[in-house]
Each structure stands twice: as structure tokens, then as C-alpha cells.
Structure 1
Amino acid sequence: MCRWLAYTGSPVLVEDLLYKPANSLVMQSLHSHLGAEPTNGDGFGVGWYDDHSPVPGLFRSTEPAWNDQNLRELSAHARARVVLAHIRASSGSAVQQTNCHPFRHGPWLWMHNGVLSDFHAYKRDLVLAVDPELFPLIAGSTDSEVLFYLALTFGLEQDPPAAVARAVGFVEAAAARKHVPFPVQMTVCTTDGQRLWAFRYSSEGRSRSLFHSTDVAVLREQYPDNPTLHELSDSARLVVSEPLGDLRGAWREVPESTCVRIEQGREELTPFAPVAAATA
């Protein structure tokens, strides 16, 4: 499907996240170990927040991440405190820039690994449920972007976990009416630049891989000679589709049906479950 990473902490060069780790996201675009496909070459995107504007920067391309010189140039100069990066393996929608993640609305970014199975069968029900003021802003043709705008419709800007739960519940109800048994497969990340949420969920309980980093201060004690760890602040946190390296103890798997919230270096994991459409 896809691979992604989310970083929050002290400002870092984007290339330090995308290129330098042993199993970097750019490396995963060619040789993913845990993805549904080993190659993720249907475009990429990077969203980042600095101190100049609450609206994140966004760079997306249909080029494979491993072959885009503009990405290499930009990432060597862009420094950011929050970064979302995504490499795409299309599940059927067109390879075009508007279909590349992350998606942006105001200060919010959103990216998704997974699929809404048989999306075409109930797509009309989903898009007609999007707030009329938001509907014209849907620029691409992916299930991921529609899920984003459903979450915005259901209150993402006020309460992200509740909004995502309602959006997923709405999708499952719409799919059930079309006799689609297991419609939702997702690891989703969203942020407003201050707080970050990641979700691991699938209708059949067999979700795509997702990991979160452990405490940087603890890792420094375990690996005092590792220079990378000394460049990160104690508040630095990462959520990734698959680990960026093989440091023992550096990564923990996010459990099934879980929401991860990160704010000011504090991390909280809570259960996640869809809210039934009738309740939504």
C-alpha cells in the first residue's frame, strides 16, 4: 500500500529523517520490509511546520521518492519541528499529484496507509456526507482524501479521535449496505502542527504495521556513542510504518485498534473503535 513517518520534536533537517536512517523512508520506497508491496513508487509527499506560519509547507510529486532530485535538494535545507512524509503505492486510483499524501486543510495535515475496500461501491454515499462547504476542496480521487474530509465534517478540528471514530463508523455502515464485509484498512496520521494523532485500525483486526519510538533520553543511556541520538531533543517522537533502524529497544509496535496522541513530547496510547453510523 504505502509507507509513512511522522516526526515531532526539536527542529531537524528533513533529510535527516528521509535519507540518513539505515531503513530510511526513501530506502523503503524501493525495499519495504513490512509493507504489502516492497516498492512504493507512485509518488510521495512531505508536509512540514516551522515557526513562520501555522499553515504547513507541502511538497508532493508523482516521481518515485528515490529518483527525485528536488526532494533531495529541498530536504537538505528545510528544517522543521513537525514533519509528515509519505511514499505511495496506489491501490487503484490515478498516479497524479492531487492523489499524493499528505493532504492539507488549513493548519491540518492527513496521511493514510491502507485502503477502503471496494471504495467505488459506496463512494457516492461517502462524498455526499461531506460538509457542502468542504466538498469543493476535494481535489483528487483517492479514498484517503475522502476519509480526511469525512473526518473534517465530523469534527476533526475539535476532537480528532472522536471525528476519526465517527468517520470510520460511517464508512463501515455505508460499506455494509453494499455487502462489503471488511472495508477499512488503515494507519492514519493527522496533526495541526502542535498535536499529533496516529491510528491503527482495520475492520477485520489485521491492520498494517505501525510503530512508535521510545524515549530518546533512555536510548542515549543505552547507546552513548550514537551521535544521532544526541542531536535529538528529549521531546522528539516518531511514529512510522516500519522502524527506521535496528537499535534494540528503539521501537515499539502500536497495538491493534489504538490511537497514539503526542503533545509536547508526551505520548499517550488509548483504545480506538469506530462509532456506529446511527450514533454518529
Structure 2
Amino acid sequence: MCRHLAYLGPDEPLGRLLVDPPHGLYRQSWAPRRQRHGTVNADGFGVGWYAAGDPAPARYRRTGPIWADPSFADLARVVRTGALLAAVRDATLPGADGEAAAAPFAAGRWLFSHNGAVAGWPQSAAPLVPGLPPVDLLSMEARTDSAFVWALVLHRLRADDDAGRALAETVREVAEAAPASRLNLLLTDGETIAATTWGDTLWYLAEPGRGTVVASEPYDDDPRWQEVPDRTLLAADRTGVRLTALKDQAPAPKEPCT
């Protein structure tokens, strides 16, 4: 499993969102409070962020634990952004893919992370392979279940599915092929966030005047954090959050950031 977080709002140092909170993603790498599978997220980490005037995000990824990288501490202190996606990783299986296996994965303006595991990987994914063009398989950044799920999502995005549909249909497709999979997906283009809950926790904080945070678990004890029910599609922007049950696609009212 993993822990991940996405943010949209006013420019903030990376550290204010990832390192400074008492239970931030930094601490979740060794002491998550709500993680249901696995205990330590020390198999790599990454952060992707957007700079004004450039639609393509920058990324910083490493193979080791986030706490063992002093360069990240410097970067997090001075780099500011109004949109980011970050993750700490607990590998499904051992592998030699290094930082290429660490989220966020990226293509164009998109950043993506997978918190979970494809059950029975890699054998269970075989029925899904014919649905991908060969070039998509050959372009996978890593030989992991998360990279494969990203390839499925990206194929739908390139076919002009919107972010929510791309995630929802990918979750259904993978869950049908591998029913015991855990598929909490997180996707942003720097202007919107889409996410799914399928087997693990997800929370959001719609903070008045500050935008929206979507995360595997709260990074502090602010009572305004809201838990997302399992089997749900979340869509968010800087003004609010919308929840849709994946089982019936019936939208819930949007909660404004006011």
C-alpha cells in the first residue's frame, strides 16, 4: 500500500503540506494512522508540482524513504506551488525498478498515484493487456501494478474520457479481472483532482479561502476533514468537492469552499 495527497489552492511551500503537519505525508511514511494494509511506506516517494505558466508538472522522486533524503528537506522548504500530488510507497512486490516505480506517474499535464494493489499481479492483469496498444505497454515507466493501472487510465484520457470517467472505468475493469484488488486512485491536472476509494481510506479538507486537499488520511486533527465512503468517485477543484457512488454514479451535492 501507499499514502498519497493532492492539493489545489494558493501557493504554499511543499513542506507546509507534506512535512510540517503533525501527521503529514512525511510522518505517514513510518507512522500512518489509518493505513489498513502494510505498516511502513519506505519503498520510495515522490512529489509532482505545477509552476505558474507551465502546464507540465515537475517531479522529484527517489527510491528510498522520504526521511532519508536531506535534499528533499531543502526543496520542500523553498519550492512553492498552488497544485501538487505526492506519495510515499509501500511496494506490492519486490522489484528493481527504482525511482521509476515511485508515484507520481506523469504524462503531459497529468499526475497520477495508486494506493493499493492489483490482486494476483501480474497474472491477473493478463486479460486486460489486449485492451492497450503495444506502445503503451512498452512505454510503462516500471513493471509494477501501479504503472500498469496508470497505463489503463492514460489510455482512456488519450481517448478523451474525462478524468472521473477514466478512473471509474479503470477501477471497474481491474476489479472485474482481479476482484480482491484495492484501487484508490488519485489524478490531477493542476486545476482539478479526481480520486477513487476502493479498499482503503480517503479524506478531504475543503478549507475556506485556501482550496482543497485530498489525502489518504488527515494530516492533522482539524475537525473539518471529511471521510470519503468506500466505492466512491471524488471530483474536486479549488471551490469544492463532489462525491459520486461508483456503484450507481448518482452525484452527491457539491460542498463549496466558503
Compute the TM-score of the two structures, normalised by the length of structure 1. 0.82
Aligned counterpart, 1:65: 66
Q: Does 1:245 align with 2:189?
A: no
Compute the displacement of 1:146 (Å).
Answer: 0.7
Pairwise CA distance, 1:32: 1.1
Please list, as runs of the form range in 1=range in 2, the aligned pairs for 1:27-66 lying within 5 A after superposition: 27-35=27-35, 36-66=37-67
Question: Which sections of structure 1, spanning at least 5 residues, go unmatched?
Answer: 176-181, 202-206, 218-233, 276-280
Q: Partner of 1:30: helix, strand, or coil?
A: coil
Which residue number in structure 2 is paired with residue 98 of structure 1?
A: 100
Q: Which residue matches 1:174?
A: 177
Please list the CA deviations of residues 73-113 of structure 1 after superposition, one character each: whole Å capped at 9, or x if unmatched. Answer: 11112111111110001111425111101100111111011
Distance 2:84 2:157 in 1: 23
Larger mean CA deviation between 259-268 and 56-65 belongs to 259-268
Larger mean CA deviation between 12-21 and 123-132 belongs to: 123-132
Partner of 1:259: 233
Contact 1:28 1:38 in 2 (8 A): no
Identity across the alignment (%): 30
CA distance in structure 2 between the aligned counterparts of 1:171 and 1:274, rounded to whole angstroms: 18
- Per-residue CA deviation, residues 216-237 of structure 1 (Å, 9 max, x unaligned), is 23xxxxxxxxxxxxxxxx1411
* Secondary structure of 2:78 counterpart: coil
Do residues 14 (structure 1) and 6 (structure 2) align? no
Query: Aligned-pair distance for 1:166?
Result: 2.2
Q: Which residue of 1 aligns with 2:197?
A: 200
Task: Look at both structures and tell me which one has the larger radius of gyration over its CA atoms.
Answer: 1
| More strand as a share of residues | 2
TM-score normalised to structure 2 length? 0.89
User: Does the Cα contact within 8 Å between 2:41 and 2:65 map onto a contact in 1?
Assistant: yes
Instruction: Give the AA of the match of 1:256.
Output: D
Tell me how far 1:48 sits from its aligned partner: 0.5
- Secondary structure of 1:197's match? strand
Q: Secondary structure at the match of 1:237?
A: strand
Look up the SS of the partner of 1:119 in the other structure: coil
Look up the match of 1:268: 242
The equivalent of 1:159 in structure 2 is 162
Partner Cα distance (2:105, 2:248) in 1: 22
CA 1:271–1:107: 2 relative to 1, 3 Å: same
RMSD in angstroms over aligned alpha carbons?
Answer: 1.9
Provide the C-alpha distance between the structure 1 equivalents of 2:59 and 2:129, rounded to a whole number of angstroms. Answer: 24
**Is residue 2:203 matched to residue 1:211?**
yes
Q: 1:184, 1:190 → 2: CA distance?
A: 18
What corresponds to 1:224 in structure 2? none
Q: After superposition, what is the alpha-carbon deviation per residue over 1:165-212, rounded to whole angstroms, capped at 9, x for unaligned?
A: 22223223333xxxxxx33212111011111111112xxxxx211111
Greater CA deviation, 1-10 or 258-267?
Answer: 258-267
1:9-56 C-alpha deviation (Å, 9 max, x unpaired): 011100111111011111111111111233111110001011131110
Q: Answer yes or no: is the 8 Å Cα contact 1:261–1:267 preserved in 2.
A: yes
Alpha-carbon distance in structure 1 between the residues aligned to 2:128 and 2:200: 23
C-alpha contact 1:166 1:274 (8 A) present in aligned 2: no
Following superposition, the deviation at residue 126 of structure 1 comes to 2.6
User: Per-residue CA shift, 1:131-152, capped at 9, x if unaligned?
Assistant: 3342332020111111111122
Letter in 1 for 2:201: S
Alignment-mate amino acid for residue 7 of structure 2: Y
Distance 2:131 2:200 in 1: 27
Alpha carbons 2:6, 2:188 under 8 Å: kept: no
Answer whether contact 2:45 2:102 (CA < 8 A) is retained: yes
Query: Would you say how many aligned residue pairs link Structure 1 and Structure 2?
Result: 246
Deviation at 1:4, TM superposition (A): 0.9
Distance in structure 1 (CA, Å) of the matches to 2:171 and 2:177:
10
